[in-house]
A and B are shown apart, each in its own frame.
Chain A
Amino acid sequence: MIHLLNAILVLVLMMNLFALGTSRIMTVIQTVAAQGALLSLIPLLAHGHLTLPVALATIAALALKGIAIPSMMAHALRDANIKREVEPLIGLLPSIILGALGTVFALLFASQLPLAGEHADSLLVPASFATMLTGFIFLTTRFKALSQVLGYLVLENGIFIFGMLLINVMPLMVEMGVLLDLFVGIFVICIIVNKINQSFSSMDTRQLVSLKE
């Protein structure tokens, strides 16, 4: 079971790099959606046997991360009428390389941590660190509001992976609460993005600082 889990996590890591390397925001949304859908399978695999809370967590994560949030963002993207992140702070190839370095760092770092025996072989911890780092790279180097929301989503995916370490003891309520917060957060941001777009005809967050006047 743990080997299948590792294969899924490797795919998640590759999606991180792919998302960093593409300029089309729609493609990034689809990648992050696929990543979320893949991640929602992890509770099933990490837990070992099917129980009602685990099944609920899986279905809720799949519905929110895989379907609801991406379709909301795609809608906002259509309204905002933008297609690409035009000039990120650092280019696409440097961000891929930065992401790759982050992943290597996460792998090396996780191997130094005193993990519980059952997690020593799994990639859960390095994958979670690498995904969080990818989210940070997104948040710091992209200027379109929607790209930054995507960075936030990737960051949350990383935290979700880390939470899987505790899936056996974490109450379902906490998991659901996190998902609900995420959903509401994205919902509000999408509305704000829409408003920004209507009022200022630009989605560049750098221009928000000049609104003092």
Chain B
Amino acid sequence: MVDNIIHIALLLVFPPFLLGVINKTKAWFGGRVGAPLLQPYYDLAKLFQKEWVLSTTTTWIFRAGPVVTLACVLLAGLLIPLGRFAAPIGFAGDLILFAYLFGLARFFTTAAALDTGSAFEGMGAAREATFSCLSEPALFFALLVLAKLSGSLMLGDLLRGPLGGFAPTVIAPLVLIAIGLFIVLLAETCRIPVDDPNTHLELTMIHEVMVLDHSGPLLGVILYAAAIKLFVLGSVLLHVLAPVQLATAWLNWPLFLLELSGLAVAVGIVESIMARLQMRHVPYLLVSAVLFCGFSFILLVR
């Protein structure tokens, strides 16, 4: 019970901190002091205080987009176990719900973008839909491998693996899906090398262009949902990367937060040392993620 409350509290409060860690890492690489670690919280507070400005061409879909996205990622966050602690919700087959909650969120984001009637945003929607076609199979293959390893179709059991950690015989498939999932994480959360969250250039935007017309509280909801998405996918990846646990149960919470911050630092390092890929090269990256996860499955069943 206490663990469930901590789970929900972390899911609600912690995600913007990860964005702060990423930005701080990038600033450190650039030799700058950078914004304070808590800057994303201040930004969100500022955005939520602003008034609503809505275009007259938009309908309720435009307002529903960010809200549905937030609801979807929060629900997805309840389905996954954080560290060694059980998930608040779980049933057999919830991995499909997990994958398609992201699909639903994406559908509403693209629908809201199309609702503005701007050709520019339609372009972004088309890009997002195209790239998600490639990242979804990678995620599914990765979950399939984990399901095969643990013999369970419930995210809670599947991610935490068999009792006592994964057998050493499966290091090779796990290495492969760890890399595949990291690429999926970068693609889904719109980070470099797939998408640049800071760019506002017509040629290069994917996610940013779809939310150009959102402002004030709606933009705040979108930023918050993006941070939660990073948190959720990061926790999934951590199950593959660091399936360790400490003997004292409560110490696993700080350990988990430390690991997650470490992952955010890794994302920040990737963003600092890599340039954004050319738009026509992004599918190569995503196809290779699918290949890694697919190979991992073949290795397992051969």
Contact = CB atoms under 8 A, between A and B. Distances in A.
A93 B169 contact: no
Nearest to B290: A100
A100 B168 CA distance: 25
Contacts of A103: 295
A4 B172 CA distance: 8
Contact of B292 (A7, A14, A21, A97): A14
Interface string A72-107: 000000000000000000001100110010011001
Given A107-B302, A111-B302, A3 B172 contact: yes
Contacts of A14: 176, 179, 292
Interface string B274-299: 00000000011001100110010011
Given A14-B179, A92-B284, A93-B284, A3 B292 contact: no
B299 A107 contact: yes
A14 to B, nearest CB: 7
A10 interface: yes
Given A93-B283, A103-B295, A17 B302 contact: no
Where chain A touches its partner, the secondary structure class is: helix
A48 to B, nearest CB: 16
Interface in A4-45: 4, 6-7, 9-11, 13-14, 17-18, 21
A104 B171 contact: no
Contacts of A62: none
B175 interface: yes
Contacts of A3: 168-169, 171-172
A123 interface: yes
B171 A17 contact: no
Interface string B170-194: 0111011001000000000000000
A11 B299 contact: no
Contacts of B172: 3, 6-7, 9-10, 123
A17 B283 contact: no
Contacts of B295: 10, 13, 100, 103-104
A3 B298 CA distance: 16
Contacts of A93: 283-284, 287
A108 interface: yes
B52 to A, nearest CB: 44
Interface string A154-187: 0000000000000000000000000000000000
Contacts of B291: 17, 96, 100
Contacts of B302: 107-108, 111
Interface in B141-200: 168-169, 171-173, 175-176, 179
Nearest to A121: B169
Contacts of A111: 302
Interface in B101-143: none
A76 to B, nearest CB: 26
Contact of B175 (A10, A18, A107, A108): A10
A18 B284 CA distance: 10
Contacts of B283: 93
Contact of B284 (A10, A96, A104): A96
A10 B288 contact: no
Question: Which of A4, A10, A14, A17 gathers the greatest number of chain B CB atoms within 10 Å?
Answer: A10
Contact of A7 (B171, B284, B288, B298): B171
Contacts of A96: 284, 287-288, 291
A17 B292 CA distance: 10
B292 A6 contact: no
A54 B184 CA distance: 40
Contact of B298 (A6, A107, A121): A107
B171 A21 contact: no
A9 B173 CA distance: 11
Contacts of B179: 14
B284 A17 contact: no
Contacts of A7: 171-172, 175
A31 to B, nearest CB: 13
B288 A17 contact: yes
A172 to B, nearest CB: 29
8 contacts: A4-B171, A6-B172, A10-B299, A13-B295, A14-B176, A14-B292, A103-B295, A107-B298
Interface of B: 168-169, 171-173, 175-176, 179, 283-284, 287-288, 291-292, 295, 298-299, 302
Given A17-B288, A17-B291, A108-B302, 11 more contacts: A7-B175, A10-B172, A10-B295, A13-B295, A14-B179, A96-B284, A103-B295, A104-B298, A107-B298, A107-B302, A121-B169
